[in-house]
Structure 1
């Protein structure tokens, strides 16, 4: 779940006046000047307009996975200095130190009979710093505690334990829909209605249309190995779920996400009813 953290880092730079949503990306990376767009028939045609920072931040710029860009620059130093260390995220990194190897959880997949089995950890983490550290992925190591500290800072409107990381209005921008009218999200290899996307988060705009039990206005994301979280500002709530599969598209992952939402909100409703009865 690296993308929301990278988005927070980018919004810190926005607050410092380093960029605005309408800026063309080529202002910062001249090589992006004059890009072409691939059509459905694979024909490449000139862009109708330059790719903007807003499109980059809202995942609507048309880029492929990080593995397609192996020779670009690093982002770990900024995240370490501005987010991980100040927030006390002591276990979040791109690399697994030998001293923490015994704490690494097993990965799981399905065998030929549909049975869930543990699989080898080889290739699922880094023992040395990779040449390319992308903002959109690769932050494979963290804990529920670490990610909660980040998410709580966002829910608090950019403040945590007396330190301000982002302004309240900046955080509000991050979970305000930034997609053009008619653009839909594609999650888990399918288009989904009822969702928007801000500057770093998917947003629940219509729970019924999105077929989710998450609360209205909740904003969320998921990770490569099946992790997920959402922040519900209406109910002042964070949920973080860590499971460990080889692929987030594993059949069991999405139902588990929905089951967690259904269970949590049902429990909240029952708790509210019980409290009301006790008051009576």
Structure 2
């Protein structure tokens, strides 16, 4: 399963440290069930390695074509879809969201109380579409476990109940208070699910069909979708929950997984499954300015715009976010239109380049693109939560150390 190539200025010996590090520190001690890592530069795959098990209970090894839950790595895909519509003149980034969702005209901000007895105050600013892209909307996630507002999300199951629809989500969100007035802070949220709703609205096509027609089919991504097909089941990984003492517990069995059923709630924020080669096609498209194998899905200038830091005054996430999120402090990292963006290499305390962008998923998957070095890294595993171990930052150190 190993492909070692001394290509495009990457050291094969240094890249082998990925395998050694993951095996010694995570897989052999039982901290991770298994992993699949891909590194490419200048469009050439320099390293791809499957390790460990995709299904511990059935003793099935990770393979190159294993199907993974990518959760929030769905967000960049939905963001690209929305910006395709931007390129068609369907909306402007400073358009008020209420222009497309009339029920959101009088949004309120939380002041005190618990659901359903909230005391609120009118928002001091109007939510724009850019606020949704950048998570400056004032929306939140139930799993944040930080405020009385996200507790209401949990009670109403707004993070993805099997009975939820995009329309129901949007209607319910309009009745709940925001965490803050739009544009005044950063908070990870269901904002990208709202973008998925807007894709449906603007394209007059279901989100899953739109993504298939405009991203997955053009980029040859046959294993990416919102449901695991029957012919994919044998390749579908189990998902695990981190337990105290660095133990694993089965969180989602492939045979009985909700991903096996067609879901009413098509989550543009976290609903996709994919393979490492499918996602490589997407990531390499971005690395090449929006084009892959002669098929262009987004304009070069649009992509350059998306991967700039859109936080006010070029702030980083620790300086603008409320609460904390995920596995790193994100010092030296801002946020663009659907991706995190490294703004200060020294402040980040991780080697790399200013302008590196990417994101990760709940089950510890991750990808980043370094446009300076024309470098792509994708890491797949299935362990919830993503904050269990600092693997993402460790991999950056190893991969960037391979540049010669």
TM-score by structure 2 length?
Answer: 0.61
Give the C-alpha shift of residue 211 in structure 1.
2.8
Size of the aligned set, in residue pairs, is 265
Q: How does 1:7-86 map to 2 (within 5 A)?
A: 7-39=79-111, 43-65=119-141, 67-68=157-158, 70-73=164-167, 74-86=206-218
Write out per-residue CA displacement over residues 191-217 of structure 1, whole angstroms, 9 at most, x where no aligned residue: 532111110100000122223234221
Deviates more, 1:90-99 or 1:65-74: 65-74
Structure 1 residues without counterparts, runs of 5 or longer: 273-280
Note if 1:115 corresponds to 2:251. no
Q: How does 1:182-201 map to 2 (within 5 A)?
A: 182=315, 184-185=320-321, 186-188=324-326, 191-201=329-339
**Distance across 1 between alignment mates of 2:320 and 2:165:** 31
Q: Secondary structure at the match of 2:166?
A: coil
Write out per-residue CA displacement over residues 78-109 of structure 1, whole angstroms, 9 at most, x where no aligned residue: 11111111111010011011221110123233
User: CA RMSD for the aligned pairs?
Assistant: 2.2
Q: Which residue of 2 aligns with 1:267?
A: 402
Write out per-residue CA displacement over residues 97-139 of structure 1, whole angstroms, 9 at most, x where no aligned residue: 1221110123233445433465551665412211111211111
**Distance across 2 between alignment mates of 1:117 and 1:68:** 25
> Are the equivalent residues in 1 in contact too, given 2:327–2:386 (CA < 8 A)?
no
> Are the equivalent residues in 2 in contact too, given 1:184–1:192 (CA < 8 A)?
no
- Higher RCO, Cα 8 Å, sep 6+: 2
Q: Which residue of 2 aligns with 1:275?
A: none
Q: Which residue of 2 aligns with 1:258?
A: 393
**Distance across 2 between alignment mates of 1:263 and 1:162:** 32
> Are the equivalent residues in 2 in contact too, given 1:184–1:195 (CA < 8 A)?
no
Q: Secondary structure at the match of 1:130?
A: coil
Write out per-residue CA displacement over residues 190-249 of structure 1, whole angstroms, 9 at most, x where no aligned residue: 753211111010000012222323422100100121100000000001000001113223
Q: Which residue of 1 aligns with 2:68?
A: none
Structure 2 residues without counterparts, runs of 5 or longer: 1-72, 143-156, 168-205
**Distance across 2 between alignment mates of 1:109 and 1:162:** 41
Q: Residues 200 and 228 (structure 1 numbering): CA distance in 2 closer, same or farther, change over 3 Å?
A: same
